[in-house]
Amino acid sequence: MDTTKPFLGSKSHLFLDKNKDPISLVDLSELSGYPIELIRSELQFEGDEISMEELRKKMLLLLESTMESSN
């Protein structure tokens, strides 16, 4: 019996609209190996799902602040 989970959860077989379809933080946590609460705190995000557009913006801000801190 195959008990493997889809790579991106229940929507993995569908084409995701890059700006509209939400990404589950549970899926993001499983893919990255980081706990959901750490992802929420690092991205300063409170919800359970985030759009790809919002995730990109938050990741860019995180990367920029990390680069500024390291200089």
What pLDDT was estimated at residue 4? 47
Which pLDDT band, with edges at 50, 70 and 90, does 16 fall under?
low
Read off the pLDDT of residues 22-65 as tens digits, 9 standing for 90 and up: 899 999 999 999 999 999 999 999 999 999 889 999 999 999 99
What is the average pLDDT across 19-24? 78
Is 11 within the bounds of a domain?
A: no
Does 59 fall in a domain?
yes
**Per the domain annotation, does 3 fall within a domain?**
no
The total of structural domains in the chain comes to 1
Task: Flag whether 32 is in a domain.
Answer: yes
Q: What does the alpha-carbon distance between residue 45 and residue 35 come to, in Å, rounded to a whole number? A: 13
CB 50 within 8 A of CB 62: no
Cut 0.75: pTM above it:
no
* Token pair of 4 as six digits: 């493997």
Q: What is the pLDDT of residue 69?
A: 87
Which DSSP helix (H) or strand (E) runs through 69? Answer: helix 52-70
Cα pseudo-dihedral 34, 38, 42, 47, rounded to 10: 100
**What's the confidence (pLDDT) of residue 10?**
53
- For the chain, give percent helix, strand, coil, nearest 5: 55, 10, 40
